[in-house]
Amino acid sequence: AQLREAFGDLALFFYDQHGGEVIGVLWKPSSFQPQPFKASNVKGRMVTSRGGELVMVPNVEAILEDWAILGEGLVQAVEARSERWTV
């Protein structure tokens, strides 16, 4: 619930409600589309320049670190697996 509340605009979270030990995360494709810079839209994003324009993109490394911090005491590891990008 904490992950969904904090990062639900960027990703979908899945778990086995019958006792599984893994939380699956699926990034929303729209979260990787550059957004215009807005001070109110900074959460989980960083500012970068694209074509001379300042835009917001997800700060994947910081988000993964936040997930580990939120799960402190419960989370053993956060693994990023993707064929399209690496951290």
CB 25: neighbour CB atoms within 10 A? 19
Is 73 a residue whose pLDDT tops 90?
A: no
What is the rounded distance in angstroms from the CA atom of residue 79 to the CA atom of residue 59?
16
Does residue 27 have a pLDDT over 60?
Answer: yes
To the nearest 10°, the Cα dihedral for 56, 5, 13, 1?
160
Q: What angle do CA 43, 5, 2 make, to 5 degrees?
A: 110
Per DSSP, the three-state class of 44 is coil
31 φ/ψ angles, rounded to the nearest 5 degrees: -70, -20
Reported pTM: 0.74
Q: How confident is the model at residue 87 (pLDDT cuts 50, 70, 90)?
A: very low
Rounded CA separation 26/18 (Å): 20
